Amino acid sequence: MDREFLEVELPEMDSIYFYAYLAMTFLIALRLILKSQSKYKTELFFLSFFLISGNISEYLTFSIPGVSFFEIQPDRFLFFLFSFFILKNLLFPKDSIKLPFGWSMPWFKIILYFYVFLVIASQAFHVYHNGIAELITNIVYAINILIIMYYVRTMTDQETIRIIGTTIVIGAVLASLVSLIQFAVDPMFLRVGDQRIAFGDMLRSNGIFISEYLNAYFIITALSWVLVTYKNSWLKLFLFVLFSFGVICAFQRMSWLILSIVVFIYIVFIEKVAASKLVALGLSGMAVLIIAFLFFRSDIMNSTLVRQRLSEPVNSRAGYYTTAINNVGKKPIFGFGGKNNETYYYNMLMITYDRDRATGLTGDFHSGYFSTMFYYGLIAFLAFVALVISSITFFARLLKKHLIFSIPFLVALLYGIGNLTNTFLLDAFLCILFAIHLGIGQRLKELHQETNGKHPIFELDKKNLWV
């Protein structure tokens, strides 16, 4: 296989810079909350800090005294925080929110409950091989998605929408700026994860995340907010250009494709730009690509992106997918429970010749769908596919009601496409982002039904809601 990761590890940046970044994001989140009129200041503060800080917040991970197998990481902290507030609201209710059951409940929500149940059942079935610590950790991750979706839905009002949207955009601005610095100035600037080659000796930009694709998908999520909610044309254009460069610096083809799809859907189906302008924009884009290719032809053709990804050998991703398909019949109900088994070890060793990959220390199936099939079984795989399709179609049908439903629709679409070539299961940052938007989308639909679309949240020209 061609070289993908840097062979010589570059010197890491001093941790003081990471803590300085965390201090800055702490102050940004604090200022957002102090200026807000939200009833959920504490919850939104920690959620905002989590989103703005990205994976750099993992520097704040700490262990529970006497419990060596379970660390308190940022996403797990959200689990305990939101669980506490849910319990508090149950014991001392202030506001009641109607919980839809039966046929009134969205299908994607029912499927998500079923999928989470299957994941937990698979982990419980394989507890003998994986251990009790792995079982507890996976249960927390699984339930955390449900808790975040539920509590964000509970919090969703005009102020919550404004704070979450602003938070994601600010986080994407910082991620894009860090990406540009990593690409043009210092490749190790605030780098917390992979050192994957883009071309030559240039590294792909991770921004504030552990991987380049996660950074790009977060930026694309923010772009969805900007395209739909921002009214200042010049600010929208500036952020579009900045975010596009942030995604380009990732040098990850799927993120480029998703960015193109999001922009295309916005221009054609949401903004409904005239055909003549579309042709002019398309020709301009093609001209830029041709010029860039001519200037950097040698680097592009000899890059890892072209040699390894666009002409991928059979012993790479195709081998991962074949492994999942060929073995699913052996354990169709509960799957293999994860990477800690001989089947995963020997197949990955034959494909990659890399012991770290075979033992599960690095890498996976490079697909959320095939990972689910192998880890949790065929039924869970079908549930996962149904979850993605039902969430996309649910919000697609709501697009005719109001433009704001474009945001959860585009995020659901991003999540579904992103899982084709990368794995974003219940423990992934992108899955948490997906759950946040599922919660927002549900509550928006309920508010639209309750007020017949007359709620102030649907008035896009309100200055106190949109930029």
Reading the chain (467 residues) residue by residue, the pLDDT tens digits are 445 666 556 666 678 889 999 999 999 999 999 988 888 999 999 999 999 999 998 888 766 665 555 567 888 888 888 888 888 887 776 665 555 554 567 899 999 999 999 999 999 998 888 888 888 888 999 999 999 999 999 998 889 999 999 999 999 999 999 999 999 888 888 888 888 887 767 889 999 999 999 999 999 999 999 998 888 888 988 999 999 999 999 988 889 999 988 888 888 777 666 555 555 555 555 565 556 555 555 555 555 555 555 444 444 677 788 888 888 888 989 999 888 888 888 888 888 787 877 787 777 888 999 999 999 999 999 999 999 999 999 999 998 888 899 999 999 999 999 999 899 998 889 999 999 999 999 999 999 888 888 888 887 544 444 44
Q: State pLDDT tens for residues 246-288.
A: 999 998 888 999 998 888 888 877 766 655 555 555 555 556 5
Q: What pLDDT, on the 0 to 100 scale, is given for residue 463? A: 46
Note the pLDDT of residue 314: 41
How many residues are listed for the chain in this entry? Answer: 467
pLDDT at residue 466, rounded to an integer? 47
- Measured distance CA(128)–CA(45) in Å, rounded: 39
Position 363 scores a pLDDT of 76
Structural domain boundaries in the chain: 109-155+312-467
- pLDDT at 29 (0 to 100): 94
Backbone angles phi, psi at 312, to 5 degrees: -70, 130
Q: Cα separation of 105 and 115, whole Å?
A: 16
pLDDT of residue 171: 96
Q: How far apart are CA 453 and CA 203, in angstroms?
A: 48
Secondary structure (3-state) at 61:
coil
Residue in the structure block whose two tokens are 């083809």: 253
Contacts of 246 (CB under 8 A, 6+ apart): 172, 175, 176, 177, 179, 180, 205, 207, 215, 216, 219
302 Cβ contact partners less than 8 Å away, ≥ 6 residues apart: 199, 200
Per-residue pLDDT, 462: 47
Category of 412 on φ-ψ map: left (φ > 0), alpha (ψ -120 to 50) or beta = alpha
Q: 462: left (phi > 0), else alpha (psi -120 to 50), else beta?
A: beta
- Token code pair at residue 439: 């919660």
Q: How far apart are CA 164 and CA 27, in angstroms?
A: 16
CA dihedral 303, 309, 311, 315 (to 10 degrees): 120
Q: What is the pLDDT of residue 208?
A: 93
